[in-house]
Amino acid sequence: MLNSRSPIPLYHQLADILLNKIRSGEYASGSRIPSENSLAAKYNIGRPTARQATDILVRKGILKRKRGSGTFVCEPRKEIDLFSLGGTILSFRQKGISVRTRIQKKIRLKSIGDDPENPFSNKKAYFFSRISSVGKIPVLIEDIYLHETLFSGIDRLDLAGQSISHIVRDHYYMQPYGGKQNFRIGHLTGKRALTLNVTQKTPILIVKRFLNFAQAKNAVYSELICRTDQFVFSQTIGGIPDD
């Protein structure tokens, strides 16, 4: 029950109770939770307090309101390990998610402009851009840069639908041993917003990924633009899996 003497607001206490019921399976995915009037009566609180509690879980994507029907438990979003050294496409496939990848900008050797975050700033690198979709929904844009010397000839390979990690391993006999990622939240405008089918107000996860090889550090650099309203993009802490 709720503790009126606790410094934790009553609506937070109720949100925690509802969350525990969801996690325990008492309220299963897709099921309707009790109405706000029912919650108010059961926990001896006002309806606005019950509304605040469900608002918290709606904002977190755990509950979803359906007009005229009630409030329902959302299906859990599938989680994609964003830091897999096997690559993002492989991460989708390992979760059993069918992903379709389309090349937006064909690979070419390109002079990279002045960009302090890009390890190929003011140098040449192979560059291409691709977009990944699950069903008809675009979920990820990747801009990928590769070391000019280590990946010589990669512009002659067909990269459509291919895992970059497999190409690096099978054609260049190299394996990344580590790397790092920088995360930030941003917003898209113009063509990129249209490409991902989002508005200028939609928060987007922007990731800048650096992969190191024995032959050179930061030999592969990519900028990822992720729609987090469709998938949870996670990072596993621990050892690097052997793909």
Domain containing residue 59: CATH number:
1.10.10.10
What is the rounded distance in angstroms from the CA atom of residue 128 to the CA atom of residue 178? 22
Of 89 and 227, the one with more pLDDT: 227
Which of 224, 221, 215 has its CA nearest to residue 119? Answer: 221
Looking at every residue in the chain, the average pLDDT score rounds to 83
Q: Band the pLDDT of 92: cuts 50, 70, 90.
A: low
What is the rounded distance in angstroms from the CA atom of residue 230 to the CA atom of residue 20? 23
Q: Are residues 83 and 66 in the same domain?
A: no
Of 73, 98, 126, the last residue of a domain is: 73
Asked whether residue 43 carries a pLDDT value surpassing 60, the answer given is yes
Q: Are residues 91 and 152 in the same domain?
A: yes
Report yes or no on 135 lying in a domain: yes
Q: Which domain holds residue 161?
A: 79-234
CATH number of the domain within which 87 lies: 3.40.1410.10
Report yes or no on 149 lying in a domain: yes
Q: Are residues 67 and 86 in the same domain?
A: no
Q: Are residues 23 and 98 in the same domain?
A: no
pLDDT per residue as tens digits for the range 114-157? 999 999 999 999 999 988 887 788 888 989 999 999 999 899 88
What is the rounded distance in angstroms from the CA atom of residue 129 to the CA atom of residue 237? 28
| Number of structural domains found in the chain | 2
pLDDT per residue as tens digits for the range 158-181? 877 677 777 887 788 788 888 888
For 79, what's the count of Cα atoms within 13 Å in the CB-facing half-sphere?
Answer: 7
Asked whether residue 89 carries a pLDDT value surpassing 60, the answer given is no
Q: Are residues 147 and 225 in the same domain?
A: yes
Asked whether residue 76 carries a pLDDT value surpassing 90, the answer given is no
End-to-end CA distance of the chain: 48
pLDDT of residue 239: 40
Q: Band the pLDDT of 83: cuts 50, 70, 90.
A: very low
Q: Cα–Cα distances in Å, from 238 out to 58, 81, 84, 95, 222? A: 32, 12, 11, 19, 22
CA angle 7, 9, 10 (to 5 degrees): 120
